[in-house]
Amino acid sequence: MIKQVSVFLENKKGRLSEALEILHKNDINLRSLTIAETTDYGILRLIPNKPEQAAEKLKEAGFVVNQTKVLAIEVNDSPGSMLTVIKGLSMSDIDIEYSYCCLPVHEHKVVIILKVSDSEKAIELLRQSSCAKLIEAEAFA
């Protein structure tokens, strides 16, 4: 499992830039970034190379920050690869809360970030799978 940093951003001009500037000034590199939007705020979800430091620096700057453990899995960069993984999780009664892609660790592979209802069960299932490989936090450092 890896750590995702979630940052709550008010829907105000320049707020995303402020958060990214803090990370840049602290030499924190991003492996993935996604934003979920609502009317009043956005949720910025990040996979940084230094999650603890990223969360600390953003909190110091007044941002509301949360850290969540998520799965990072690597699949082949080919049609149906993600479907195979998602079907396997679904057949094991594991719900996907959200998902997004990440920079690849290896050539011809895709890294998918998953927040699931039962992490331990998902990890066990994925470790037995030949269609996906769990990626550990060290790969993003």
- Cα 43 to chain centroid distance, Å, stands at 12
Domain ranges of the chain: 2-67, 70-140
2-67 domain in CATH 3.30.70.1450? no
70-140 domain in CATH 3.30.1300.10? no
Interval 29-53 mean pLDDT? 93
Higher pLDDT, 128 or 45: 45
**Long-range contacts (CB closer than 8 Å, 24 or more residues apart) made by 81-86:** 81/110, 81/131, 81/132, 82/110, 82/112, 84/131, 84/132, 85/112, 85/126, 85/129, 85/131, 85/132
Average pLDDT, the chain: 92
**Integer Cα distance of 82 and 65 in angstroms:** 29
Q: Which of 35-39, 58-62, 92-96, 106-110 has the lowest average pLDDT?
A: 106-110
In contact, 2 and 72? CB cutoff 8 Å: yes
Q: How does pLDDT run across 49-97, given as a tens digit for each residue?
A: 999 999 999 999 999 999 999 999 999 989 999 999 999 999 999 999 9
Higher pLDDT, 140 or 113: 113
